[in-house]
Amino acid sequence: MRRIIRVDTRKGILTEERANDELRRIGGRHFIAHILNTEVDPMCEPLGRYNKLIVSLGLFADTGLSTTGKLSVGGKSPLTNGVKESNTGGFAGRRLSRLGIKSVIFEDIPEKETTNVLYLSDDEIKLINMPQLRHKKVSETFRTLRGEFGENTGMLCIGPAGEMKMCSAGIASTDDKGIQIRYAGRGGMGAVMGSKGIKAIVIKANRTAEPEIYDAALLNKTNKDIIAALLDDPKSKNRKLYGTIDILETANRIGIIPTRNFSEGSFEPANEWIGIKFSDLIKERGGAGRSGTPCVPGCTIQCSNVFPDVDGEKIVASLQYENLVLLGPNLGINDLDTVGELNHLCNEVGVDAIECGAALGIAMEAGVRKFGDRDGAKELIREIGEGTYLGRILGNGAVFTGRAFGIRRVPTVKGQAMPGYDPRALKGNGVTYFTSTMGADHTAGNCFETVRTNDPLGTENQVYNSRQLQIRAAILDTMGVCLFTRPAFVKNPELLTNLFKAKFGWVVSLADIRHLGAKVLELERSFNEKSGACERFNRIPEFMREEPLPPNNTVFDITDEEMERIWDVPVRTDIF
């Protein structure tokens, strides 16, 4: 993959470049950080002319390696004002790689509102004006595009929230049948896409560009070993059986679940939704219901699901842990079907379910609706899609909603809502929220995996663990593989070094790969230092240092000073 497509959204002109060998070795999250640092003014207005929306494939996107097929989107975030990389599954990534397209970079903004579709195929690349898609919800957009461009088409789009440039808007992605809707949800990349007048990207790839692979046999073997390691790994097995909801039981027990706008850490009704019960329910309801489905073609882990209603009709696919807790416990909603519907509504209007759940929790604390009001919660999300005044408040995220209603309990860092891990009872994630270049984002370094080995309520090792995990995340996001492949690499780090050798002929040590991750973070930190989205100007919210979180009744008590020194902490370089 060496093709880089640039779209001048003001002039409607497409140009193409070819990545040289050096650029070829810069992929996914790394590529986004690279473009931001070399081409984007860190002080530009995120929804203005000088920001860029960067779609980028990972280093291994054209290898068929298990879990690749995800794609990264990034730019300067209107939520955090800093760098943002958000990745998603779906079928678009694999098709882009088949076309040999490494990246699509959207530049400038149109002078007037437009509803353009970028069409990429074997034969042509072009912008198509499709006003009929204006303000259409996500499913309908995908349906219309499938009607227009046929099956076997990779697609990305935004919903009305993105078109209205709401800062919680994400970019949706789907499979060929439109069953699953996945999201590059975090950081408001949907608003950036909206600002550029791009409603959707459609990718047809009938032929397949020959991938450049240095040692196909080694790649093949390594991939097989990774698959074997994952199939053998108990955590991965559980993910297939129960999806990400596998962690719900532990999360509720250790008291980290955002409940009623982060005022409590556990929610009793959620015990009825834990992994095994959730998958049993899917089985029992039958119909469209599925557990263990892939989010990208050929994934081994298959942690997705199709959650059906009592009649077996799909409510939402896929229902993930973070969305579930932000839209359920955080709103005091104790009915799983409602939670599924709320997630579906988020997907339809085109907002990040995490940011939206946090915004709704704040609105409920403000009395806009009562906690537990199922219909009320649905109305609120619909209002986002309709762009009512209330919808415009909520659709702009948690910080915005908190300010609108004068609420002080606003669970955000760097402008972005915290996902399903209250840092008062999982302190390592507080470190990640505070120090990550992405703001409050569990995927940037999720310390949940350390809870068995390190007391989540204690302050010990949290900074070390967060650092370790942040570097790992940066590596995997650069490779374009799922974070859930970690177990394979942790077990056998050689699989990782072999991959680089097989694909690029690049002989690297584990330390070199760690260095690559650290370098990506450094690039991102450099951008954020210049945009103001750095630790100095962004804190853990004051209420989290004051209000003890039931049931553990702990506050967040790692000092800023300790966290700010995270990059000085010595780490072992011999482990992944």
Interacting residues toward a second copy by CB under 8 A: 43-45, 47-50, 164-167, 191, 194-195, 388-390, 392-393, 396, 400, 403-406, 408, 530-532, 536-537, 539, 541-542, 546
- Whether the CB-CB separation of 416 and 359 falls below 8 Å is answered with no
Which is closer to a second copy, CB of 400 or CB of 500? 400
Q: How far apart are CB 41 and a second copy at their closest, in Å?
A: 9
Which is closer to a second copy, CB of 163 or CB of 422? 163
Greatest distance between any 2 Cα atoms in the chain: 61
- Whether the CB-CB separation of 299 and 482 falls below 8 Å is answered with yes
Cα–Cα distance for residue pair 46/82, rounded to 1 Å: 9
Q: How far apart are CB 166 and a second copy at their closest, in Å?
A: 7
Which is closer to a second copy, CB of 47 or CB of 518? 47
Which is closer to a second copy, CB of 158 or CB of 226? 158
Q: Which residue has tokens 């494939």?
A: 57
Cα–Cα distance for residue pair 477/350, rounded to 1 Å: 23
Q: How far apart are CB 9 and a second copy at their closest, in Å?
A: 14
What residue ranges in 23-170 does DSSP mark as E strands? 53-57, 71-76, 83-88, 101-107, 116-120, 125-129, 153-157
Which is closer to a second copy, CB of 212 or CB of 557? 557
- Whether the CB-CB separation of 482 and 320 falls below 8 Å is answered with no
Which is closer to a second copy, CB of 194 or CB of 430? 194
Q: How far apart are CB 524 and a second copy at their closest, in Å?
A: 17
Which is closer to a second copy, CB of 111 or CB of 280? 111
Q: How far apart are CB 165 and a second copy at their closest, in Å?
A: 3
How many helices and strands, by DSSP H and E, does the chain display? 23, 17
Residues 518, 523, 525: CA angle, nearest 5 degrees = 90
Which is closer to a second copy, CB of 67 or CB of 263? 263
- Beta strands 116-120 and 198-204 are parallel
Quick check: helix, strand or coil at residue 17? strand
Q: How far apart are CB 528 and a second copy at their closest, in Å?
A: 11
Which is closer to a second copy, CB of 85 or CB of 108? 108
Q: Give, in order, the Cα–Cα distances in Å from 526 to each of 16, 298, 560, 565.
A: 28, 36, 19, 16
Q: How far apart are CB 406 and a second copy at their closest, in Å?
A: 3
Q: How far is CA 261 from the centre of its chain?
A: 21
Q: How far apart are CB 42 and a second copy at their closest, in Å?
A: 9
Angle separating helix axes 374-386 and 353-365, nearest 10 degrees: 120
Q: Give, in order, the Cα–Cα distances in Å from 301 to each of 66, 147, 295, 358.
A: 8, 31, 9, 29
Q: How far apart are CB 74 and a second copy at their closest, in Å?
A: 20
Q: How far apart are CB 195 and a second copy at their closest, in Å?
A: 8
- Beta strands 101-107 and 3-8 are parallel
Q: How far apart are CB 537 and a second copy at their closest, in Å?
A: 4
Angle separating helix axes 336-349 and 374-386, nearest 10 degrees: 0
Q: How far apart are CB 539 and a second copy at their closest, in Å?
A: 6
Which is closer to a second copy, CB of 50 or CB of 506? 50
Strand partners of residue 198: 116
Q: Determine phi and psi for 59, rounding to 5 degrees.
A: -60, -30
Cα pseudo-dihedral 528, 532, 534, 538, rounded to 10: -150
- Whether the CB-CB separation of 53 and 6 falls below 8 Å is answered with no
Which is closer to a second copy, CB of 9 or CB of 497? 9
Which is closer to a second copy, CB of 268 or CB of 546? 546
